[in-house]
Amino acid sequence: MHTIRFLLLTTKEDDRILEKRFRMLWHIHNQTVKYAQKQLHKLMRDRAYIDARKERSALKPEAEKLQKRLDEAEAQKKPAKRGERSRLKAVKKRLRELTDIMNERIEFFCLTQTGLESYVKVMQHRFQKHISSQQAQKEADRVYTGVQKVLYGNGKFVHLKKLDDQRSISQKCSTNGIKVNRNANTVNWLGLTIPFRMNKKDPYAAESVGHQLKYGELIRLPFKSGWRYYINLYLDGDAPKKLCVSSGLTCIDPGVSTMASVSEKAVSLKELAPMSGCYNKEIARQQRLVDQEKRALNPDHYDADGRVIKGKHNWVISNNCRRHQRRIRELYRKKSASTECSHNHQANELLVNNGNCFLIEDMTYAALQKRSRKPTERQEKATVVKDKNGKEKTVRKCKKKKRFGKSLNDRSPALFVAILTRKAEQYGGQAVRIDTRKFRASQYHHDTGEYHKAALSDRWKTIDGHEIQRDLYSAFLIFCSNPSGTSPDRDLCNSMFEHFVTMHDAFIKATAKENHPACFGY
């Protein structure tokens, strides 16, 4: 399945009705969230569910431990200890019984997909002239996704949604709710008929629209002048191919702000989303203007130190302030679109120039967003700073507990990996992940065969008498991995290293005069 997006050519009356319907669906969503919160509150205080969950939490580690012992004994072709198999069988049986009890209690409190859809069905009758049954059910499915995170994942709450965050109205098929007439290029939705713009001379759009339509989804995006509405068509089959992709293996060492790649043909070190900093400056400027407006119009809501007084306030918001807020939403949209466009362009370059098969070091970016658990310490290196009067003094700053949250927000490296994986599969290739805990590419030195943990600030390595950029060397080691992908093949590293050094030095020389972020190291 693939998607294609077209702009809806709406009138002022269409905009008014669409705004009204988005508000209605937002109300349905939040009412369903409140219902789910109430039912979760009852479930977490249900004695049968609490006892079953507590017993299951105690038995699950035991089952995993017994299973691991049996697997090790089977691998070593040794007989298992007496009673272990029967104990594992009994523990697994009890775990299934406890799971059934928990599922029965979850179903009793209507915290299933069917239960939430049944709740929404009653509320949808109030808005049946504007919202179809499938659109309301789809919104209930989105709430159920949040409920699943609370019940089975690491979620703590099912959160309410702001009106501005209600960006789409989706459904399950093309026969209910939003109906698309591809011959007339119009969208028909419960009394509304809106044309959409499609360039018939575009071969990609013409070929894509020829596929079978699964369903349509209405999207709204923020602009300075207000909302603009689009139709997303979900079509069967793969997207039309526009690239002439070569075949070959490329190995990638992903970073927070960069992507280093090595293949037989070339090496590359690219900055992700280089334009994100430009948007950040304008966003910060607009946020300062909003803050100045709010402080000028609401002086009683701030204390003597300029902090907001705790409690509920009735904020006075001027039209000028609302214009700045719309501008901020527009800038965030542009930043997101610019990042995605940059990622697509870089992924296309890799597919065309290097090949359609990739080995990628598996990074857990969510863990890098968290604050460091280490206690605050003073830096060993002294820093010269200036005070307000211009006097210089030497201080030892504290090491910040913040890690890579801002860089990940700006660069979106996980999005790049997802785009590259999707495109590789579309063009007949694949993207295989390498386990970093087993491979440890950033620590290995193939000339000595030893592992040395280096500081993050060390961007260069001395390998066999050559100065090698750290990220490119990690990508080279992934390229020279053994068939199982668990460690570098030292013999292959030695045979390929001279060719890699030639490409590495040529790349560094060609890009030395360009502007790079500090993480490049040159």
DSSP letter for each residue of 277-300: HHHHHHHHHHHHHHHHHHHHH-GG
- For 54, the token pair is 């507590």
Question: How far, in Å, CA of 161 to CA of 149, rounded?
Answer: 16
Domain boundary assignment for the chain: 2-11+169-235, 24-159, 249-274+342-374+392-520
3-state secondary structure of 444: strand
pLDDT for 47-92, tens place per residue?
Answer: 999 999 999 999 999 898 888 888 888 888 888 788 888 888 999 9
Which backbone phi and psi does 421 adopt, to 5 degrees? Answer: -65, -45
Q: Which residues pair with 226 in a beta bridge?
A: 223
3-state secondary structure of 489: coil
Distances (CA, A) of 32 to 104, 151, 182, 420: 21, 17, 34, 36
Instruction: Record the pTM.
Output: 0.85
> Which residue, among 47, 433, 454, has the nearest Cα to 253 in the 3D structure?
433
- For 22, the token pair is 């988005």
In the block, which residue shows the tokens 């693939």?
A: 2
Give residue 388's pLDDT: 63
In the block, which residue shows the tokens 């399950």?
A: 172
> Which residue, among 419, 406, 425, 420, has the nearest Cα to 365 in the 3D structure?
406
Give residue 323's pLDDT: 92
DSSP letter for each residue of 331-385: HHHHHHHHHHHHHHHHHHHHHHHT-SEEEEE---HHHHTSPP-SPP-B-SS-EEE
Give residue 102's pLDDT: 95
Q: How many Cα atoms are found within 13 Å in the side-chain-facing hemisphere of 208? A: 23
At 180, which helix (H) or strand (E)?
strand 179-181
Give residue 75's pLDDT: 82
Contact 237, 2 (CB under 8 A): yes
- For 162, the token pair is 């702001």
pLDDT for 395-449, tens place per residue?
Answer: 777 767 667 888 888 899 999 999 999 999 988 899 988 888 888 888 888 888 8
- For 41, the token pair is 């509150």
Distances (CA, A) of 371 to 111, 405, 430: 33, 9, 34
392: exposed, middle or buried (Cβ count in 10 Å: 0-12, 13-18, 19+): exposed
Q: Any residues with CB less than 8 A from the CB of 192 and at least 6 apart, and which?
A: 14, 17, 18
pLDDT under 50 in the chain at which residues? none
3-state secondary structure of 393: strand
498: exposed, middle or buried (Cβ count in 10 Å: 0-12, 13-18, 19+): exposed
The strand pair at 2-8 and 226-235 is best described as antiparallel
Q: Any residues with CB less than 8 A from the CB of 295 and at least 6 apart, and which?
A: 302, 306
In the block, which residue shows the tokens 């007339």?
A: 184
